[in-house]
Structure 1
Amino acid sequence: MSPDHPPGLDLDRLRGLLDRERPGLVKGPLSGRLIEGGRSNLTYAVADGTSRWVVRRPPLGHVLATAHDMKREHRVISALYPTAVPVPEPVLLCEDEEVLGSPFYVMEFVDGTPYRTADQLAPLGPERTRGAVLNLVDTLVELHAVDPGEVGLADFGRPEGFLDRQLRRWGKQLDASRNRDLDGIDELHAALGRELPRSPAPAVVHGDYRLDNVLIGEDDSIRAILDWEMSTLGDPLTDLGLLVMYSMPLGMPDSPVSTTAEAPGHPAPSELIERYAARSGRDVSAVSWYTAFAWFKLAVILEGIHYRYTLGQTVGRGFDRIGDLVPVFVRHGLTTLHEGLQEG
């Protein structure tokens, strides 16, 4: 296929649908390109020469509909769009698989930059980097301040027993990809289970909140939060724990998985925690547990990638080094949990 007709995006059928559902929206012939960088769902930029939109659909040949629920993603951004939380404006949801071969949704295209590595942040300079990361915290506070019932998301998840279910779920994920001994990972899982904190009032949880899942504007503001596929109602401190984890240096130069923590000007984890606490009013005394849980979750994800690599099921570069990262994440998780318990 040509670059203007990427796989999984039939522009003629898309145009027909938009003309029927949103007459007058599209002014000229559509072109489209795949936006690289997504972990699972496919994201395309579509333009008519005047306006631009984004199309989100599941991967080609997807099997588990629940893992790539377009209706769910569309629902959460539609609910949040009228609030202070920056999300793209939803255009339409299409559940008819005849159009593109799977359900999909269309939203506005938002200008901004996703920063994935410390090297990408470096040109901003220390002051702007600091401002962007602090804005990331403030935007998370805005998200967690939304009353789910007021925006029609009261039934968006099952907050009761959320942390226990999460821990069991990731334990099962680990068991499904075990093919080697991993020192400390069972110890970390068990310790997390023993020290399960009491969750605060439930909130809309993004599930993968970090710098490269938002678009930063030229004024360093958060223009839009993207990638809502893991969103639910649950414990808001899981989002904070993940953000803190990604703000801690890995201590591994040339790692195939990077955090932005080494960027000059990046605020320390303690400052992010204090800012979230001050602006949200939430008790963050158990944040070490949530951060250790984030290390555990990422260790399980990376072990799954390593497992698929050993079976010859991965394509691309860098997969041969993923396995070496897993023990590093486990050690960070144990250290974070142990130090947090000592402080407590």
Structure 2
Amino acid sequence: MTDVSEEYFRRLVDEEALRSYLEEELGPTDEFSIQRHAEGHSNETLFLTWGERELVLRRPPPGETADTAHDVLREYRVMDALQNTEVPMPTTVLACEDHDVLGSDFYLMERVEGTVLRDEEPERFAEPAHRERIGEELVDTLAAIHGVDHEAVGLDGFGRPAGFTERQVERWGRQLEWASEVTNEVREVPELDRVGEWLEANVPEEYPHTLVHGDYKLDNVSFAPGAAPDRGDDGPTNRSPPELVAVFDWEMSALGDPLVDLGWTLSYWRDPKDPEPAMSELTARFMEREGYPTRRELVDRYERETGMTFENDRFYRALAVYKLAGLGEMFLRRYLEGNADDPLYPLMEERVPALAERAVRILDGKEPL
């Protein structure tokens, strides 16, 4: 176990109960170990070794959760349905809704070997052609998600696409209301009320209906591990180009408006001209370097790949930042109530107001695409 207190870890995992359950489901083994992956900030991710198998366990955080957040069985359902599609997916193993095992729902999937671009780019991608390809792979995979025939893969009824975008605004307003029951005791963020009112008044009347991921961004995908480069007189050669091999974190997936996904992806993507990020702890900046596509270029490629047009960009980008602020307030509430062991959560007292200011800049046209 790493980067987590022993008390918090015991709230996440009853190792004996889990071992007993897995012996029934997967067969006995002499080799069993488990450790928490500390990079996530929503559902909990734990790495398991079960004999020769390397697995990943996903479960909600302990304590009360807001509304339908942290629905890991929903996440498992969509991942299982996409196993034989063009969307690159980890292999699903099992899902468990018996709370006698861990005190919550959870599921297991095979661990994917690869590289997640979170804080920095790997040295093997540090050239313009590979940087460009990272953006292309990211957009092309998003287009593949939005092109899935959801009825053919068994996801008919997975959501209600009609009215999806309106419900997004309403839902995140409720999440903020839930969080602010506690967070308003330390400070208030009135700018979020203005943003919420603007979004309610400017929801697009029409939009496409597709499968949506709900949290699609660069650090929720994995790129294939690169082969060791040959070394000549001038240094490494034959670097493997970026190949996207898995999409993770499907807990917010649904049938709905694909442009909500695109707006979310863009909210994390940096252009060289951008101001300082409102939430630096969750904002990588390496895509400001030479070779990475701009947000405008990502949008252009998405429109070519899907045949859709990214209209109402202020709405979709402001909605994304509004949702980020909602997540931040939920994080802060969990911290204030003692239900989180994440050092990011207390920082939300200052980061959420900064996000609210960013959303206002988008609405006012001061932060264009």
TM-score for both structures, normalised by structure 1: 0.85
Higher mean C-alpha displacement, 236-245 vs 252-261? 252-261
Q: Name the structure 2 match of 1:125.
A: 126
Q: Name the CA distance, whole Å, in 2 between partners of 1:309 and 1:63.
A: 12
Aligned: 1:58 with 2:60: yes
Asked if the contact 2:222–2:245 (Cα under 8 Å) also holds between the matched residues in 1, the reply is yes
Asked if the contact 1:126–1:266 (Cα under 8 Å) also holds between the matched residues in 2, the reply is no
Asked if the contact 1:205–1:239 (Cα under 8 Å) also holds between the matched residues in 2, the reply is yes
How far is 1:18 from its partner?
4.1
Q: Name the structure 1 match of 2:145.
A: 143
Asked if the contact 1:121–1:260 (Cα under 8 Å) also holds between the matched residues in 2, the reply is no
The 3-state SS of whatever aligns with 1:283 is coil
Aligned with 1:84 (options 68, 83, 86): 86
Residue identity matched to 2:221: V
In structure 2, the CA distance between the partners of 1:183 and 1:104, relative to structure 1 (3 Å rule), is closer
Q: Name the CA distance, whole Å, in 2 between partners of 1:329 and 1:67.
A: 21
Q: Name the structure 2 match of 1:245.
A: 267
Q: Name the CA distance, whole Å, in 2 between partners of 1:61 and 1:320.
A: 17
Q: What is the 5 A alignment of 1:78-227?
A: 78-117=80-119, 120-121=120-121, 123=123, 124-127=125-128, 128-176=130-178, 177=180, 179=184, 180-182=187-189, 184-218=191-225, 219-227=241-249
Aligned pairs, how many?
A: 338
In structure 2, the CA distance between the partners of 1:269 and 1:71, relative to structure 1 (3 Å rule), is same
Q: Name the CA distance, whole Å, in 2 between partners of 1:342 and 1:70.
A: 35
Asked if the contact 1:192–1:289 (Cα under 8 Å) also holds between the matched residues in 2, the reply is yes
The 3-state SS of whatever aligns with 2:47 is strand
In structure 2, the CA distance between the partners of 1:98 and 1:174, relative to structure 1 (3 Å rule), is closer
How far is 1:342 from its partner?
10
Q: What is the 5 A alignment of 1:29-68?
A: 29-61=31-63, 66-68=68-70
Higher mean C-alpha displacement, 299-308 vs 213-222? 299-308
Q: Name the CA distance, whole Å, in 2 between partners of 1:312 and 1:63.
A: 13
Aligned with 2:284 (options 260, 269, 279): 260
In structure 2, the CA distance between the partners of 1:339 and 1:100, relative to structure 1 (3 Å rule), is same
Q: Name the structure 2 match of 1:229.
A: 251
Identity %: 37
In structure 2, the CA distance between the partners of 1:72 and 1:253, relative to structure 1 (3 Å rule), is closer
Q: Name the CA distance, whole Å, in 2 between partners of 1:62 and 1:196.
A: 31
TM-score for both structures, normalised by structure 2: 0.80
In structure 2, the CA distance between the partners of 1:67 and 1:331, relative to structure 1 (3 Å rule), is closer
The 3-state SS of whatever aligns with 1:82 is coil
Where structure 2 has 5 or more consecutive residues not aligned to the other structure, the ranges are 226-240
Q: Deviations over 1:162-187 (max 9, x none)?
A: 11111112222333416245353332
Q: Name the CA distance, whole Å, in 1 between partners of 2:13 and 2:341.
A: 22
Residue identity matched to 2:313: V
Residue identity matched to 1:100: L
Higher mean C-alpha displacement, 201-210 vs 50-59? 50-59
Q: Name the CA distance, whole Å, in 2 between partners of 1:282 and 1:43.
A: 34
In structure 2, the CA distance between the partners of 1:61 and 1:245, relative to structure 1 (3 Å rule), is closer
Aligned with 1:21 (options 25, 28, 42): 25
The 3-state SS of whatever aligns with 1:32 is strand
The 3-state SS of whatever aligns with 1:148 is coil
Q: What is the 5 A alignment of 1:267-278?
A: 267-278=293-304
Residue identity matched to 2:250: W
The 3-state SS of whatever aligns with 1:260 is coil
In structure 2, the CA distance between the partners of 1:267 and 1:68, relative to structure 1 (3 Å rule), is same
In structure 2, the CA distance between the partners of 1:138 and 1:191, relative to structure 1 (3 Å rule), is same
In structure 2, the CA distance between the partners of 1:279 and 1:21, relative to structure 1 (3 Å rule), is same
Higher relative contact order (CA 8 A, sep 6+): 2
Please tell me the root mean square deviation across aligned C-alpha atoms, in Å.
3.2
Q: Name the structure 1 match of 2:230.
A: none
Residue identity matched to 1:86: P
In structure 2, the CA distance between the partners of 1:208 and 1:96, relative to structure 1 (3 Å rule), is same
